[in-house]
Structures are given as structure tokens and as C-alpha cells.
Structure 1
């Protein structure tokens, strides 16, 4: 018998179980934690059947789609069995598979039993991969699975034509709202009303909702306001070979919007304690005995003044007079004649912003952001107790906040929130000072610039954030240190003995997962093609990681400067090897 190429490939995959299981977290919106994971499957890395659609289409063409489903679940269950199984696992089942005979059901239960997994650990996701003709039979099959302890989720609600009927027939515990209705929901009132309606039905039918494909903080804000129960998408984590249990700082901020976290734990003491005193500019104040006409002339003679404070004879501030209000009022007919001789307190703003000189810059910036915009224009009065000290301007505040943000970026990278240059250098110096041996690794992504050029900076940021999460998840948090220098450059400082094995695990994971960041056409080509300025086309394979490692001892290095130089040289050596590579410098 002559087999077509897809047939041979599919049969080889099934025989060797050459499948890659991936797991994407599902987030509990109310508890702000990882609730469960969805299991996904990929074909062999760098093959034309790597993408799940290509894999299952090929299996279907060969009449082996059910066999591929069983094989996929086998590798998924094997990987899940290695965890403590404290989080449920959502696993895709096609209706065809659920309607199989008792023999097939027994086989599936044996798969679970052999892995030590209980039905209560599994949520069956019903996919609309084929036309459903007999709802009654399917409902009976689902009831049988429920009686064994499985829970049921209806996948991609809204994508197919039978979703609402399936919901009413099967009474699932969960419904997953298709990502089409979540994408750009903050700008689409029709999608908003659709999800609002689904959520209302879910509440009335005692069903929990899961929003799929959440990628932006704006989308998250909308579904949170709609009280969707759970969420899943790239914002929380991409499909990954290892289970992800921790949320990023950014996601924690968004889910706990009443908690404002500043990067104070990773900032210098000077940064934390910067106060309004540094913004103070002394300005002569007006007294209540001054007339409106005198203040008007004062503004005309000094065009740099935006406002003038008014204090009493004891130095206590009474209010603030605005240049704009004064000139605007006196430009009107007869106003100067009517009010020019009156006290300047007549029109002063008694509700102006007054802040203590020891208030922190961060607290002041939050206060002004929540208050009337006029405070940025008119400025604010700075006091010591009840005594006038000087004035502060919105311009000075913005300049100081910008400087602080630049300063903070040295302590924590704003994209990954990993420690930046200053903590990295301080950590290395402390290890050298205490004469503790360590391994310093410089990690650099290969072919990142072409990826950024081809797909844009947002996709590039996703890759960088993914690498940051990957590195953090692979090291021992009690012994090892992960830092982000900037761009696609990271630093690992190992004290754990198994550092080399960890590096190889990182490189292996990068090789498996990196194709998922590329478009399907580029996955099939094994990389991307880009034209340079001269119109010449260049081919760049999938991104990889080069790691340059240095064994560091206090006798060999005097400071972080020398360690950094040695790491940089080791990284250059690693990049001479094509693809994912680890080069270790063993300095004598």
C-alpha cells in the first residue's frame, strides 16, 4: 500500500507520541490568582504540522483524528500527572469523541487512571469541531461524564451556530466566550452588549464565564467591569510547556485596581524619600492690604508669574491669585473701575492646593492627578506647618517625576519589572565582597531586531516579557537572581549548583516555544524574510537565545565592572554558535 506524505507523518507522530503539550493559565478575576490551565497541543517543532490546525487537519484527512485526540490527551495527562494537581485542567474533547462506544470510554478512563489523575481534576472542553446532529445522545453522554466527576466547559461560545443550544441542552459549569467578542471590546459597543448579555444569562443559569483572548489592559478592564468570572489570554501568559502559577506585577495592578503599587522595593532610598522641598521656589507673596489693581500691575511687570500667593501678617497663606483670572476679569468693561481699589483677597482662590514641604513627590503627583487640572497651571503653595515657605509649579513637578522615572528604570525595568542595572551590579558586588562563588550569565536574544522589524514593537515586547517570565520561572528564587539590563538583554546570577542544567532547560524551552510567536506562513518557512534598505532580501530563522556564562570567584574579579566585561565576552563567544547556545568561560 502506498502512503501519502501526510499519512506517513501522522502515523510517525502517533507512533512516537512526538507531540508538545502546552499549558495556558486561566485567571480568577475576583481572587486575582491562577485558577486553572487549559491544555493545548502542538506537533513536532519546526515541522509543517507544528500548528494545531495543520496537525488535526492532516490527521482528519488520514482518518486518524480520534487517534490523534487520544495521543494528545495521553501526553497532556502524563505532563499534568507530574504536578500537585491543585489547579483544574481544561482539556479539549470533540463531540465525536464523547459519543464513542463504551470501549472507547473505558480506554479514556484508563488513560486517566494510569496517570494517577481523578475525573474531578479535569474539565472537559467541548469543541464545535464537527456538526452535532443528535443533541439528545450528546446530552446523555455528557450526563454520564458528569456522574463520574468531570466538569464541562463549552468552548468558543459565539463562534459556531450551535453554541447557545449546546448551552441550554448540556448545562455546562463553564462557558468560554470566543476571543472574537473580546478583541477590542472597549471600542465596540456591539461586542460589549453581546458579552453583557452572555454574562446575564450565565448568572441566571448558574454558569461561570471565561473570557478568551484577553490581550490588553483595556479589554481586561471591560470584562472586569462586566463581572466575567475568569479570563484567559496573552496578557496573563502564553501557552507554555510548564505550568505558570504566578501573575505579573502589571496584571496584579489591573486586577487589584484599589492597590497602587510603586516600584519602591527596588528603588533607592533617595528615590523613595524625595519630597516637595526639592520643588520649592521662593516667591514674594501679596498681603491682604494690596489692591487688585496693584496685583494686576505686578502681573504686567513680571510675565513669568502664573500666580501670586496671599499671606497674612503672620506668614500664614490665605489663598492664591491667578494671572489668567486677574487679566481676564480686568479686560471686561468697568471691572477695573469697580474692583481695582478693593483688597486682592476679593477674588483670590481660597481652595488652592497647599501641601506640606515634607510630602513625597509620588504622593503629590497622585494628589494632583486626582484633582482639578488648574493646579498644574497655577501651581501650589508649599507650607511648613501653617507657615508659607514658597511655591511649586506643575512644570517643576512633571520634570521631577520624569527624572524619577528615568532613575527608577535603573532599578526596575518597566517592561518586565525585573531588577535593572543598579540592583544587578549591587548583587554582584555583594557576592564578591562576601567571597561567595557564583556563575554570571549574559542572555541575549538572537534575530530579535528582524522580528521587531517584521511584526512591530508590541509583538517584540511580548517576546521580551515572555523571556523574562521564562527565566524567572526556571531558576531557584531563593538562590538565583534574574535581572533585565534592557531591550533583549538579561542577566542570570546563579548560586545554585545545577545552573548548567537550568540553562539547558531554558534553551530547550525557547526552541520549543519560539515558533508560536511567528505567523503561520513564517512558521512553515522556518523563519522570516526581510528586505534591507537596498532591496536585498535576507532570511532570519526563528529567534534563539545565546547565553555567555562566567564562573566568578572573588580572587578573579575585583568588581561588577570586571564581571560584566567577562560576561560580555562569553556572550560574544556563545553567539558564534548558530541557534540556542551556552558558552562557559572557565577563567584560570
Structure 2
């Protein structure tokens, strides 16, 4: 096989293939990933075997150079548009010989601008340090190239690589995409990656989309780009446009009122949840003393350093021990202050910081905080340390919790998260407005047009509510059936409700036959066989303003909201009814208290 490999290299007998990377909203092709095949009908045909043999021969650099060459030549020869994604291992990336490769480094590579070439780092074992990889990526960016991380999730090291490089593109490993429509844990993993990517300004590409339902699930998460057999197989020459049938299916999903990613539970857990009580030492502590602490506590990976009880940094166990293992370093630094081993400016957060805010601080700040950890304080005093691993775990668990109670049709939070959210706002002493939205004349429409059209009407309503809410302040939940809850903290909530009502008729007009639209309704038989006229579906919203000082539970507030909704339904058409009665404790005395109403299916 080694002789066959040498022949492949000498004769350059590799075949380039190109697989499209597609915008999941529009169906446009963003670019192509360059893939490779060895000679047909030989053991070296598949890339896994081909590159394994190259590694055995110490010829990985030469094989990757050949692959780049043929991909760039064929991409240019076929006049392909968009970006060309070229796979590259980290060890090749840091190889100084690459920068002398005239095929790759020039003002225009075979007519392709460097801005249209994306270096796709593969998740393979690498002897290169993160600092070398980071520096090499920076050098290539200076030429105009962009960077992508391939197979995110296949190994833990890719998370640190993401943090260090801040790539323009992140590709989620196909394991997490295949069957994502049936697996809530995979959906939550992809949702977590998308959330972090959005904060760190990386674009996400979902690999391995092989079915329409997988495509729909990925798109509903908000992920913009995808790749896989359902969108287009690797080919030579490649497709220039998606098949008409695929584009038609994508367009239908757009017109049906796209479902949106599940809103995470807004009453976030705080940093207290991931606090680790890690020891701290004074900045003047001798290095030998810190060395002894690490030696005596092998599970300890980091130590905090304080100056006059104020945290000033972290000492990483492995880096300190590595430096002290070098010749004469122990003798040189042993009696010096341990503060010499603080390498980076620390991230210091208060114990009351929400995990979502912490995630934003890490992605917007220095990337080393995700891998090295951060300091947690309370009123300025040191309390402990948190890790990026714990942060990602807790955010994922929060989202799994929300997904467990999500409505399967709209993927909006269901009854439990709704009540939890309102209880959290009450606990925090925040004022807010609860709006109970319900579709009028829905049952006769559902009976006449079928449950599929009914589901479509519910999805359109869910999307309409989401579009008119501020994602940073407001909360949209789906109780069940055609009932929804919106919890507003936006001050202009009244205008937002009115905008929803104004847009509802237009958004749902495509659901009806032309004759029914023109008549404003339709005739159907009731159970007695008599014909009755039913108006088109309309939307009723009942609103209750909740003052922070009012001592009510979420169940009691739900009763007010349900009552306001019932009042709104008494008025024909798209209606908003605002409960004007003062929600004071005296209104809710035992003498006139009705049964506490919670958010349940139906009208309540």
C-alpha cells in the first residue's frame, strides 16, 4: 500500500469533489467544501485510508498540499462562486513551509481572492501548541483568509480551539445533527453552540443534514448554514443550484410561518451555581509554597492570587509545573513571589451575575477565560473560581429543562417554564405585564380545513407573537392548543400588542379559500344539522399589569389574565382588553376569592 501511495503522489491521481454549503433560509449556496478521493477501485480511494497512510509515511504535509492544489485549480476552472472551504490539519497550519507555497499565498490564487478561501481546521490530534495555532491563524488572516473549525463537538479540544481562534465559521459535527429532529439532547447541544456562536460573532454550519426533518429542526434553531446529502452530495462537477424540489420544500416552510428556536428560561441561574471553593494565596507567597500546594493536592488545577484580599489573577497548575520543570527554573523562581506566574488579566464576576450574562462577558472578552476559568466574588471579596466547562454544562442543562416542557408544535416554553418565569419575576420584585392570547372561532376552522391547517394557524400566531417581543426583555410561552402567554417587561407593551393585532389578519389570510376571505367567513353545519356562519379566525388578548409590590403568586396572576382574556373574547374581531382594576390585596380577600387559576389548556 505504501508503494501505491507513492504512486498516487507522483502521478497526482486524486479526484477533487465539492459539496455545497447552503443558506438554510434562502437556499442560496454560500460556497463549497473541497473533499478528496483516491484512485477508484483501490484501497486508497476513501480519504480516511489515504490520509492514514500519509501519516504513516510522514507525508501529511505533501498530501494536503496536493489536495489544496487540485481543489483550487478545479474551483477556478469551473468558475464556481462563493467561498472555498479547504481542510487543513493544525500541524500543517503551523508548518512554516506552507507560507512559501506559491499555489496558496499570492494576491489572487488562480483567480480566487483570498477573502473567498476558508481554512477549515480539522479536529485531529495535533502536536502544535494553541499559541502556535493562534499565531498561524492570525498570519493567514492578514493575507485575507478566513478560518473555520470542523467537527465541533467531536473532541473537547475543539472548544478551546474555538475560544482561542474566534473563527469566522464553526461546523457542528454530524453526530449531533443526524436524528436531531428526534433527540432533544442533540437539539440542546446545537442550540448551546448557536447561542455561544451568536455572542462570539461566528457563523454556524450544521454538517450531516440527510433528511428534510433534520433540515427543519436545524433551521428552527436559527442556524443559518447547513451541509449534507439532503442539500447536495459531494460531486465533480458540483451543483450550481439546489434542485427545484428542494428549493420548493424550503420555500413552503418559509411560507408556513417558521418556528423559532426555543427561548431559554429567562430567570437565569447565577454564577453561584458553578462556584468552586478553590484556595487562594497572597501575591507575595513564595513560588515553592504554591508548588507544594499543587503537589499535595493533585486534583487542584488552579489557584487564585490575592493582593490585600482583592483577587488579581489565577495560577494554572500545569503551566506552573511545566515552567518549574525546566533546568534551573525551580532554583531561579522558587523563592520569588508566586505572582510572577499570573499569565493573563483575570475575569472577575460577582456571585449574583446570571450565567447568560457571564457567557456574554466571556465571548466578548478575552477567549482564554473559557479554558482557564474566572474569579467569583461577593461584594468585592474572593469567594472561589468558575470554569468554562461548568458554565457550558449549566447553560445546556437550563435549555434541556426548558425543552422538556416545550410545546412540540411551536417549540415555545410550556406551562412549567411559564409559571417558573412569572414566579422568578415576582421574587425579584419586578413589574411586568401578562398577556393571555387566544384564537377566536378556531374550532370550526379546524373542523372545516383539517388539523394541518389548524396547526399552521397556531404556528403563524406563535411566530407573530415572537416577532413583536423584545428577546432580551419579554417571554413568549405556549400553554397548549390555541392559547399563548406573553410576559412583557418592555415599556411599550401596549403598542406591541396593538401591532400584533394589526398584523394578524394579513398573516393568516393565506389559510383560507378565496371565497371565504371575501365573505369574511364560511357556513358549516352544527351538530343539529343546521347551517351556521362562522367568522374568520381572530385574536383576543387579555392583559394584566402586575406591580412589583403586589403579593400574588403566578397562579393568582393567571386567574386575572384568564379573566381579562374572557372579556376580550366578548368583543368581535382582533381585540385587546386591559384589566384596569387595581391588583391590591384587598381585592383578593377570602370572601370574594375564586379558585386559583393556573395556565392550562383551553380557555381557562
Q: What TM-score do the two structures reach when normalised by structure 1?
A: 0.44
Q: What TM-score do the two structures reach when normalised by structure 2?
A: 0.43
